[in-house]
Amino acid sequence: MDFRFSSEHEAFRQMVREFAAREIAPYIREWDERGHFEFSVLEKMGELGILGVCIPERWGGGGMDYISLAIAAEEIEYVESSYREYISVHTGLTSLALLQWGTEEQKERYLKPLARGEKFAAFGLTEPNAGSDVAGLQTVARRHGDVYVLNGEKAWITLGDRADVVLIFAKTDPEARHEGISAFIVEKTFPGFKGTPIKNKLGVRAGSTARITLQDVEVPVENRLGEEGEGFKIAMSALDNGRMTVAAGAVGLIRACIDASVRYAQQREAFGRPIGRFQLVQRMIAEMVAGYEASRWLAYHAAWLKNQGIRNTRETSLAKWFATEAAWKAADMALQIHGAYGYSSEYPVERFLRNSRAAVIYEGTTQIHQLMQAEYALGYRRDAPLRRELPAWPFGEDA
């Protein structure tokens, strides 16, 4: 097995790293304190091809692999979690769902501008009363001739008030639980669609999070993604992609915690010597390093499996669970190393702690992933074949 990154991977990593250092790092403290979402950063990510990195060239993307997507998530979250979330949502959840499940016409109309960064996407699954229990969603879609009429509400939707396109999941058969869910490509300009920002969050304050209300929104039949009743499969396959980017992002956050802690421990003195000389401080840094290395291999292994076209629901679930918990613990230890200074915004570790807490919840809580892993081990859970699989890399003409 070859664990080395290619020269193309390293060049891409350097480009994303320099972008984040130039366009996000100097301003993020102010943006976080103000709760300000800087949309121009997202536009620049699109212009550089970061958002379409793993979409085939045929559909406007960079044609690179899923490891490149993981690299982008890691390097952006090293600086700030809010902007990694857009990679997860725009690319991992929505664009790759269109690549996997879309018709030629849907890809031409929607995937191409998303891959080019000309338009931006959101993923409308979570509702006020339906998070982990996806089958409990209450948004309904009733067909009337050539359109579906959607009514309902979505909550905690990243970019929900600014995205041009939202992949909305709704019940076409309310009595059928998960088998009654269908997916729809909804444009924000459709009458009856409204996005309302959510403010005063604990973390990811520099991010755009919104509620979406759908009131008699008419969606053309040709905007249904997949067949009626395939929405649950589409959502779960999309989460396989999004969760990998969440795990890779957590790797970046752990690395940021290590770097910040090492700098501080080497400079801060107590009892006449740098605090890095104290064994209990060393123990915390060592635990961060162990979490980083384990999380890194889990996340990039999941990305490698995607490259091979191998189903990776179990591996991606494990990576997301382990890496986000490791990031939360690393941020907590980083704050402890910084002491009272860590509790202020003078140093970034308090922001790391607040940001890291969110990822333990979204795209499957820790408890959901623990249940999944146990059921795989016990033989209670097996992955059913999908009608459409995510294309392996390198992409062929049919991708």
Is 38 an annotated catalytic residue? no
| Measured torsion, CA atoms of residues 234, 240, 244, 250, in degrees rounded to the nearest 10 | 90
Q: Tell me the C-alpha to C-alpha distance, in Å, between residue 146 and each of 179, 223, 322.
A: 22, 10, 45
Tokens 């050539």 appear where? 146
Q: Report the distance separating Cα 136 and Cα 163, nearest Å.
A: 25
Q: Sign (positive/negative) of CA torsion 385, 386, 389, 390? A: negative
Contacts of 41 (CB under 8 A, 6+ apart): 23, 24, 83
Q: Report the distance separating Cα 332 and Cα 72, nearest Å.
A: 24
Q: First CA to last CA across the chain, in angstroms?
A: 26
Contacts of 25 (CB under 8 A, 6+ apart): 79, 80
Q: Report the distance separating Cα 174 and Cα 217, nearest Å.
A: 18
Run of H or E including 157: strand 147-158
Entry field: residues in the chain: 399
Q: Sign (positive/negative) of CA torsion 358, 359, 360, 364? A: positive
Angle at 135 between CA 131 and CA 141, to 5 degrees: 105
Of 363, 375, 389, 397, the active-site residue reads: 363
Tell me the H-state helices in 189-343: 231-267, 279-308, 313-338
Catalytic residue ranges: 363
